[in-house]
Amino acid sequence: MRTSNWILTAALAGTIGAGSMSVGSMSAWAQASGSPAPAAATSAPAPAQDATQTAPAPDQSAGQSVQGQPAQAQNGAQQAIPAPPPTVAPTTMDQVVNLFIQREHGLIKVLSARTPVVETYLQNLANDPQLGPVPSEDHYFLGRLDMGETVDRKDYLKEENQSMQARLLGGFHKLYKVEYQPTGFSWMVYADRTDFDREHYDFAYIRREFLGDVRCLVFDVKPKAKSGRGRFLGRVWVEDQDFNIVRLNGTYSQAARNTFFFHMDSWRLNLIPGYWVPAFIYSEEGDFSAGVKNKLAFKAQTRIWGYDLKKGGKDDELTNIRVDSVQDNSAAAQDASPLQAEREWQQQAEDNVVERLTAAGLLAPEGDVDHILQTVVNNLEVTNNIDLPRPVRTRVLLTAPLETFSVGNTIVISRGLIDVLPDEASLAAVLSHELAHIVLGHNLGSKYAFNDRMLFSDDSTYSNLGFKHIPEEEAAADKKAVDLLKNSPYAQKLDNVGLFLKALQARTPQLSALLTTHLGNPLAEGGTVSRLTALESQGPALDNSKLDQIAALPLGGRIKINPWDDKAEMVKTAPVAITSARDKMPFEVTPFYPRLARFGTGAPAAAPTTAAANGNTGN
Ligand SMILES: [Zn+2]
């Protein structure tokens, strides 16, 4: 394995082996600068935490399910949701059907007051002779899902007065009148919100099947004749302990003439005792076999998170207030100097923004991924003798579009961007640009220290916050970033960064939605990569036919988000060999295939591993 002297690489991880996309989990990323120690070894960083060591299940303190009866929730986040009544073991499949109908209604009721964040990212497809169906254009939607009576969505992106339908489908809505039941890609969170019962549906037991660690009973569901338009038609997987639906797959039937219902694959996770909450929906249309004339071809991922967003902290405030009567009377207590006051002020602005973005469901709470990101930043700092008055922090933006920005000393990088980066050096490259802004003093704006500027509705976050730099600062940050990288543990791996930038350039014209940033400066503008362009010419030419050349990954292969508490973790996957250029799928969406597990079992309950991740990445 080729490594620089500064990096202790984990065995085999992080390498790109011939014919296998073994790019390493993030635990293999972010190996700290270690022995032999670099010049500034006095502040040598601790090794990155091994993501595989962390407990992936959401809050296990709430207790385990015992014999199919969910434990009563213990912590505050879960007190709001009463565990369902114990299930009497059914003896016939008819009773099972009655149970899961009942549990579906229970879920609808329990979630009716929730307004999670919903994101849909859609890629229209065109056929490429070598690569098969590839993105030809893309569309993005981010909003809040009202799980109340209508399952309605509220839009974060208010532009051009375009409806969600028009934005997602682009020109397609002119070709096909697309019928939504009730609203676009969010509709398959439930099979049928109003009439999921025996009067409207026939149920047929098919077989038993494991999904991940969870044994399921599989049923086909068909609407009865004359039960009306837009009824669910497909298959449901029902876990065999509490009889909750954990997966739905199918479409809606009896569309009107010239209308169209999408096919959907909808997955739920057992994130709270007794309930499986909707988390991922994959949709795909299109047939590229010979002779097919249907022009509608796309694939789309919908993710739902932020079920337990703190609403202004009202309840929290009353329970968490600590009266601190101890005054600091020591001699060391001094007034702030003008410079100290200025730094306090900037810190306040930074804290305000981080807190507000977290409350809006856009930033993950601080977690294990940040330790890995901070290790990479630290590697850059240590080897460049950077000593800042305040430490650099990192946070994960929960959304898919590829973007980074920094506010004060906090560097933010999007989930989508971490997903597609092929290796640690590429991660270091995108982080180095933001570190350069910090080092160059570009982030000293402090208007967000005024708290009134944080008082806006969540869905207007993007119009109230923004961290874009002027072109001169962008150019200066890029130049500084290259200097930092060339004097870092990643200096010998900048060929990989060049390759990533080439792959990005190759897909930039087709992925304008993925490259449209909402808070920071874009990585590409006008169809051309604009970030770190000095590195783009480094390294070999992009060559799709070289199976060992992995320049960029599909979306979804690195970061998994717990939809209940928004915590970000690293995906764990096993390597699977790439057998053709079509397996690479850079920047593409793929089906979801989460490894299902019961709440509190310590298994990765919130593992939105995509099919591509299963197939392509791992260590
Ligand atoms: Zn910048």
- Taking the centre of ligand 1 as the mean of its atom positions, its distance from the CA of residue 347, in whole angstroms, is 20
Q: pLDDT class for 34, splitting at 50, 70, 90? A: very low
Under the banding of pLDDT at 50, 70 and 90, the label for residue 332 is low
pLDDT (tens digit per residue) in 213-244:
999 999 999 999 888 877 889 999 999 999 99
Better-scored residue on pLDDT, 32 or 212:
212
| Alpha-carbon span 609 to 306, nearest angstrom | 18
How far, in Å, is the centroid of ligand 1 from the Cα of 413?
Answer: 12
CA–CA gap between residue 157 and residue 520 (Å, rounded) = 15
Token output for 476: 């200066």
- What token pair was written down for 100? 């899961």
Q: How many Å apart are CA 16 and CA 423, to the nearest integer? A: 9
Q: Is the pLDDT of residue 7 over 70?
A: no
CA of 473 to the centre of ligand 1 (A): 7
What's the gap in Å between 506 CA and the centre of ligand 1? 22
* Beta-bridge partner residues of 208: 217
Whether residue 172 is predicted with pLDDT greater than 80 in this model: the reply is no
| Residue 334 CA from chain centroid, whole number | 44
Going through 501-558 in order, the beta strands assigned E by DSSP cover 524-525, 528-529
Average the pLDDT over 142-170 and give the result.
Answer: 56
CA of 287 to the centre of ligand 1 (A): 41
CA of 223 to the centre of ligand 1 (A): 53
Residues ≥6 apart with Cβ < 8 Å to 475: none
CA of 421 to the centre of ligand 1 (A): 18
C-alpha of residue 325 to centroid of ligand 1, in Å: 44
Beta-carbon neighbours within 5 Å of ion ligand 1: 469, 474, 477, 521
Strands 201-211 and 214-223: antiparallel
pLDDT at 613: 38
Please give the structure tokens belonging to residue 513. 């939605």
* CA of 391 relative to ligand 1 center, distance in Å: 19
Report CA(394)–ligand 1 centroid distance (Å): 15
Ligand 1 center to 488 CA (angstroms): 20
Residue-level pLDDT at 303: 93
| 563, two tokens | 């939809």
Please give the distance, rounded to the nearest whole angstrom, from the Cα atom of residue 411 to the centre of ligand 1: 11
Cα(338) to centroid(ligand 1), Å: 28
- In tens, the pLDDT along 386-444 reads 999 889 999 999 999 999 999 999 999 999 999 999 999 999 999 999 999 999 999 87
pLDDT over 60 (residue 471): yes
| Cβ burial, residue 67 (10 Å; 0-12/13-18/19+) | exposed
Contact 447, 428 (CB under 8 A): no
> What per-residue confidence (pLDDT) applies to 213?
92
* 523 CA distance to ligand 1 middle (Å): 9
Residue 327: both structure tokens together: 């005054």
**123: CA distance to ligand 1 center in Å?**
27
Q: SS3 sequence, 121-162?
A: EEEEEEEECCCEEEEEEEEEEEEEEECCCCCEEEECCCCCCC
Encoding tokens for residue 395?
A: 């946070």
Q: How far is the CA of 438 from the centre of ligand 1 (A)?
A: 10
Distance 524 CA to ligand 1 centre (A): 12
pLDDT at 611: 40
What is the predicted pLDDT for the residue at 120? 87
Res. 85: pLDDT tops 80: no
Per-residue pLDDT tens over the stretch 346-402: 899 999 999 999 998 999 999 999 999 999 999 999 999 999 988 999 999 999 999
Cα end-to-end distance, the chain, whole Å: 14
For residue 329, the model assigns a pLDDT of 53
Upstream peptide bond of 86 is cis (omega within 30 degrees of 0): no
CA of 159 relative to ligand 1 center, distance in Å? 24
The mean pLDDT value of the chain amounts to 77
**Cα 532 to middle of ligand 1, angstroms:** 10
Cα–Cα dist 265/285, whole Å = 12
**From ligand 1's centre to the CA of 469, what distance in Å?**
6
14 alpha carbon – ligand 1 mean position (Å): 27
Task: Write out pLDDT tens, residues 244-300.
Answer: 999 999 987 765 555 566 788 999 999 999 999 999 999 888 777 766 655 668 899
Region 168-175: mean pLDDT is 39
Q: What's the gap in Å between 412 CA and the centre of ligand 1?
A: 11
Amino acid at 369: V
All residues at 6 or more sequence positions from 527 whose CB lies less than 8 Å from its CB, including other chains: 508, 509, 512
Pairing of the two strands 524-525 and 404-407: unpaired
How many angstroms is it from 474 CA to the middle of ligand 1?
A: 5
410 CA from centroid of ligand 1 (Å): 13
Distance 326 CA to ligand 1 centre (A): 43
Q: Ligand 1 center to residue 599 CA distance, Å? A: 41
